[in-house]
Amino acid sequence: MAERDFFSRLKRLFSTNVIVRNIGGRKLKIADTEKVQSVARRHLVDRYNRLYNNMSGMSGYNQALYQKTMRLGLFQDYEAMDTDPIVSSALDIYADESTLKGEYGKVIKVSTDNDNIHDILHNLFYDILNIEFNLYPWTRNLVKYGDFFLYLDISEKFGITNVEPLSTYDVTRLEGEDPENPYYVKYMLESGDQRHTAAGASKLEFESYELAHFRLLSDSNFLPYGRSMLEGGRKIWKQLSLMEDAMLIHRIMRAPEKRVFKIDIGNIPPAEVDNFMQKIINKMKKAPVIDEGTGQYNLKYNIQNLTEDFFMPVRGGDSGTSIDNIGGLEYTATDDIEYLKNKLLAALRVPKAFLGYEEAVGSKATLAAEDVRFARSIERIQRILVSELTKIAIVHLYAQGFRDQELVNFELELTNPSTIYEAEKIELWSSKSTLARDVIGEGLLSSEWAYKNIYGFTDDQIKDQKEQIVKDYQEKFRRGQIENEGNDPAESGEAKGTPSDMAMGRTGHELEDEGGSPPGGWNGAGRPKEGPKYSKDGSARGRDPLGAHDKKKGGSYSPKYGSTLALAHLDKLKSSFGNKDRELINEAQELKDEYETEVSSSLSDS
């Protein structure tokens, strides 16, 4: 019961294929997977419906059978065109250019602000669908037939667990089956082998959420199916094939060179001329061939073919045997073939240079980067692919339990191989910026006028941009503080080393109205006290503990020092001494003299 309820809810979700979700306030996000908002239905369907409307009253008429017959006729032409090297190369180029890898090596990019959704969709596309390998053949079939069907194997708990491509020949799209819901879509698959017998054949019906229908919506006459990229060149391809066949036939039948043998028959009676000529022809043209079965010569084998020569009997004035050459006819319709080939290439929209017909190609890595028209065609194909891949992602997220705005909270993007749009956008903004800088810098117009008239901003956008500019300057100042001062103002709440701080003698100031340091500064703030250093006044031994400077002055007889330092110092001390001090000095001097005398006499006696 639970499983039936889950699939019934999923069926209701995709009953219109337009997923609408509220993403906040009055904002909506719409996932139009089938492009029902951009495609007019039913009343514009001409090719498959209105073409046989006047035959509905005929007995034995089956409208669905006629529609399928017409589609099969188109598919047969597409299959034959795929054998042509030009058309086959064009299909390969379309698939290659639509499925290029991006700058980070990913075929499809998932953008969302929910990491869980990103991981789930990345797992879906790269692990379950194997998008890097499978997207190329899917795209090639889409471009070739205009339609591609993919069956989704859905589990209520795990979502999509497997996908299976279905043949475009066997799938029929059914619309308008429910009168109450004109956008309700179902699919019918004819399984089994119906080519020789109806035994084992059956028809299976699928809901819209069970099949992903990739279709190129470019012509309403082909609705509800897509239009192949080969459709525009189908008629031209047939004409080109006929011209090429005619050229080959002409080359074989008319181009070889032949000879005319003029044989003199002399006086042979007219009745015997034919026998005589045949005898000569047999001798000249028949070649002896050994029969492998008998080992004998087989003279019946004649190597004559479409290059047979001409034998003509002559007599009288034209007597005498001679051999003349007849040149082959030249084929003059090569210009017609070239004309049809150019029309086919125009219908395929692939530049001629990239199909091997010209050598002068650019150095760019992709074809879409060379030709803007081809880039637009690739972008249109990628939009179709992204639209149906979005449907697959929504089914998978719904099965995983996501609801409401989370169901559409993602964007899928394929790699656009062309940088032409980016270059044009950059050039446009560069021109606008130059113009705005000139009119504001010269004082001709205000910045408000430039915002409104050059950039096209509204008042709210201008206000928002001004606020963003202020935030940019704040962030720039923060980075400068971190780089130059090692200080993060956002964390410390103060700035350091700014011109105002240096002028006022402050080490920091408040960035906000409140906060900052208390009056007098924090305890322990400021420059740390310098410790004692050698040869400084604060040193425990003084400025000159070894007396190097005084010694240098004392040993110098420079007039600027006067007398020697020791004598000058002694005289200064004498002038400051009293009588008692002088007596003590004299006694010390006498004791010194007596000691030196005794030492010298003892040394002389020894």
Q: Are residues 410 and 443 in the same domain?
A: no
Q: Are residues 81 and 162 in the same domain?
A: yes
> For residues 464 and 293, what is the distance between their CA atoms, to the nearest angstrom?
99
Query: For residue 126, is it within any domain?
Result: yes
Lowest-pLDDT choice from 79-83, 189-193, 399-403: 189-193
- For residue 521, the Cα-to-chain-centroid distance in whole angstroms is 59
**Residue 495: its H or E element:** strand 494-495
Q: Are residues 166 and 28 in the same domain?
A: yes
Give, in degrees to the nearest 5, the angle at Cα 241 between 240 and 246: 95
Burial of 134 (0-12, 13-18, 19+ CB in 10 A): middle
Query: For residue 242, is it within any domain?
Result: no
Query: For residue 475, is it within any domain?
Result: yes
As a whole-number percent, the residues of the chain with pLDDT over 70 amount to 64
Q: Are residues 137 and 276 in the same domain?
A: no
> For residues 573 and 206, what is the distance between their CA atoms, to the nearest angstrom?
124
Domain span at 391: 2-55+62-229+349-418
Query: For residue 181, is it within any domain?
Result: yes
* Residue 226: pLDDT over 80: yes
Higher pLDDT, residue 22 or 86: 86
> For residues 404 and 412, what is the distance between their CA atoms, to the nearest angstrom?
18
Torsion sign across C-alpha atoms 54, 57, 61, 65 = positive
| Res 40: pLDDT | 47
Q: Are residues 281 and 167 in the same domain?
A: no
Q: Are residues 188 and 215 in the same domain?
A: yes
> For residues 543 and 196, what is the distance between their CA atoms, to the nearest angstrom?
119
- For residue 31, the Cα-to-chain-centroid distance in whole angstroms is 23
Helix pair angle (63-82, 234-253), 10° resolution: 50
> For residues 176 and 49, what is the distance between their CA atoms, to the nearest angstrom?
13
Region 387-394 average pLDDT: 90
- Identity of the residue numbered 415: T
Taking all residues of the chain, what is their mean pLDDT, rounded to a whole number? 75
Query: For residue 223, is it within any domain?
Result: yes
Last residue of a domain, one of 271, 292, 326: 326
Q: Are residues 218 and 103 in the same domain?
A: yes
| Res 303: pLDDT | 47
Per residue, the 3-state secondary structure of 146-186, as one string, reads CEEEEEEEEECCCEEEEEEEECCCCEEEEECCCCCCCCCEE
Higher pLDDT, residue 605 or 346: 346
- Close Cβ partners of 526 (under 8 Å, ≥ 6 residues apart): 507
pTM above 0.85, yes or no: no
Q: Are residues 388 and 441 in the same domain?
A: no
Query: For residue 339, is it within any domain?
Result: no
Last residue of a domain, one of 482, 500, 518: 500
Last residue of a domain, one of 500, 519, 538: 500
> For residues 43 and 512, what is the distance between their CA atoms, to the nearest angstrom?
67
Torsion of CA 293, 295, 300, 302, to 10 degrees: 90
Q: Are residues 403 and 456 in the same domain?
A: no
Q: Are residues 434 and 371 in the same domain?
A: no
Burial of 118 (0-12, 13-18, 19+ CB in 10 A): middle
| Res 2: pLDDT | 45
Determine if the peptide bond prior to 256 is cis (ω within 30°).
no
- Residue pair 159/127 in contact (Cβ under 8 Å)? The answer is no
Per residue, the 3-state secondary structure of 70-118, as one string, reads HHHHHHHHHHHHHCCHHHHHHHHHHHHHHCCCCCCCCCEEEECCCHHHH
- Residue pair 306/328 in contact (Cβ under 8 Å)? The answer is no
Query: For residue 198, is it within any domain?
Result: yes
Alpha-helix runs per DSSP H in 218-264? 234-253
Digit-coded pLDDT (tens) for 323-380: 666 666 666 677 788 888 888 888 888 877 777 655 555 555 555 556 677 888 888 8
Six token digits for residue 471: 């935030």
Query: For residue 27, is it within any domain?
Result: yes
- Residue pair 13/183 in contact (Cβ under 8 Å)? The answer is no
- Residue pair 384/216 in contact (Cβ under 8 Å)? The answer is yes
> For residues 215 and 195, what is the distance between their CA atoms, to the nearest angstrom?
26
At which residue do the structure tokens 């935030």 appear? Answer: 471
Q: Are residues 275 and 157 in the same domain?
A: no
Lowest-pLDDT choice from 234-238, 340-344, 348-352, 496-500: 496-500
Phi-psi region of 95 (alpha: psi -120 to 50; beta: other; left: phi over 0): alpha
Q: Are residues 134 and 183 in the same domain?
A: yes
Annotate 455-477 with b (16+ C-beta within 10 A) or e (fewer). eebeeeebeeeeeeeeeeeeeee
DSSP three-state, residue 18: strand
The count of structural domains within the chain is 4
> For residues 153 and 429, what is the distance between their CA atoms, to the nearest angstrom?
47
Digit-coded pLDDT (tens) for 299-315: 555 444 445 666 667 77
